[in-house]
Each structure stands twice: as structure tokens, then as C-alpha cells.
Amino acid sequence: MARKREPPRSPRQKKTPSASGPSAEQDHGYVKMRAQLVQLGLQLREIPGDGNCLFRALADQLTGCAGDHKIHRRETVDFIVQHRDEFEPFVEDDVPFDRHVACLVDEGTYAGNDSIVAFARNHGVTIVIHQLEAPLWQIPGDPDNLAEAPQLHIAYHDGEHYNSVRRMGDLGQGPANVYINLEAPTKPPTTSAEEREVMARSRCADLAEVRRALNDCAGDVDAAAEFLRALNWGQEVDDAPAAPSSPHQLTKAAAVATAAKLRNDKNAGQVAGRLDRRQRRSEERDRRRRRKASAESGELGSSPPAAVGHLAALTI
């Protein structure tokens, strides 16, 4: 349990969450963190700052259910108690060990380094901690099996808050299953500051698409990010089954308005053309699905019972 491999701070006291929103400086820090994660193909999943953020973030990583933070807190504290000889020397601020674990088990008490190490060892995982403009911290739960151990990725902000880190575009509720090669050399960024900001704000990981948007919007970062958000929403609508036609029109209108904001009719026309082509492809996919479903329904409806049973046996 090497001290030097742990994050720089271990907040443990129970705090009252602030009702106010993040400051402008914090907002800027979050934007920069998102841009940093984009370089790795990752994104933030924000966790409430209620004193349970560490266990919520780790629960989201492990099972996808952040609401299980109470269970993970109790299991982690039990592990610390069972291995008292290993953890007691690292309790900070001269707090007696029994008092430390009695506070730590309470919901809403901020957890720190000892909890991260205990969680990693208890589950045999490597916890990877992302911080703004800092090297990755690795907390190996099984140092002898580092290459094979599952990785849990969390982000540490402003010395007091943890978020979960997932793959770009992952909106699921299952385990995060993020894995990066921690031994590979870090490559220098190949994107500009403007491109990284657009990627972070639009959550678009396609660099070519980002560059096209910036070109279409004459380098306006705000307009490019807004356009990509509208365009990406349009893609989600296209892929959804039985989607009504009106969202396509709303998406098209939003994207065209974004380009028109620049007073550039050529850009607006390009936007409209791209969305028209996307909508036509979506409509063609819908028609093919309907024809296929209709053909399959007709074949099954006209087949005798024995043939249907034979078909079912083949598919099984």
C-alpha cells in the first residue's frame, strides 16, 4: 500500500453539499477535463457531490448502479477493519482508528485514499484516477496481476470530488468496462485547443466531423459545438425505431439556425443538405425494415403448422 501511489488528499469529514452551482472557474476546469478525456476516447459521467461521490463513482464503474454506494461503503469499511494492521498507520490527523472507521461507515462522510486502496484490494481491480493536467494515478488491487485486472476509472476534481469516467458515447447502465494500456507511452495531442473544446462540449469523438463543423462554421467554437449537438441528436433519432418525423424537422431547423447565426447562407445550405441526406437514409432504412417484416409475416402466415415448427427448430 505505497503512499506515493495515492491521490494527494484524503478528505474524510462530513460536509454539507453546496446548493449553489459550480463557479465559473470550476466550469472551465470541467470543460478542460472533458477535453483531456476526449483524447483517450473517454467522457465524464457526473456524480452528485453529496459526500458519497467516491462510492457512487466506483459503484457506477463496477456494476453501473451508483445507488449501491451504501453497500460498497460498508464492504470497504469492513475490509479496512479486517486488515487493521495494514491501514491503521495511514490514518491521518492523529484520529484514533476506531473513531475513523466509525465516521467512515456513515453515509455522507467523504472517503479518501484508504477507501480507494481497500476497494481496489477487496475487488481485485486497478483503480485509475484522472486529474486535470496530471499523470494518471494507478491503485492496483492485485499488483501480481496488473495486466489482467479489470480497471475502474474515476476523475478527481478540485481536491474534493469524484466522477465516473466512461467510454465516449456510453450512456448505458451496466459496468463501465473501460480499459486503457497504462504501459503505452502517452502521445502528444494531435488536435488544436479549439477542436478539443468543441469535442468536449458537443461530446462528439469524431475528429473529422469536428473539423468539418469548425470549417462550416468559420471557426466559431460555439456554433460548431451547437451544430454537432443538434447533428448527433439527429443521429440518435434516426437510429430509434418507429420515430416520428417531426424530430427530424426540429433537428434540421436547429442545425440550420446554428449555421445561419453566422450570416453565411452557403454554410446553412451545406447543413441543410447534410441533414436531408441523413433523413433520407433513415427513411430508406425504415422502408427496408417494414418490407422485411411484412415479408416475414406473410411467409409465416401462409405456412402450415408443421413448417412453422420446423422453422422454429432451425432457429433454435
Question: Looking at the annotation, which residues are catalytic?
Answer: 50, 53, 161
List the one residue out of 255, 307, 311 whose CA is nearest residue 279. Answer: 255
| Residue type, position 182, single letter | L
* Nearby residues of 139 by Cβ (< 8 Å), 6 or more positions away: 5, 6, 116, 117, 120, 126, 127, 128, 129
List the one residue out of 232, 266, 268, 240 whose CA is nearest residue 253. Answer: 268
Q: Which helix (H) or strand (E) holds 289?
A: helix 265-302
Torsion of CA 308, 311, 315, 316, to 10 degrees: 70
Alpha helices in 141-264 (DSSP H): 193-202, 207-216, 221-239, 246-260
Strands (E), the chain: 42-45, 126-130, 137-140, 151-157, 161-167
Distance, CA of 160 to CA of 45 (rounded, Å): 16
List the one residue out of 31, 79, 18 whose CA is nearest residue 193. Answer: 31
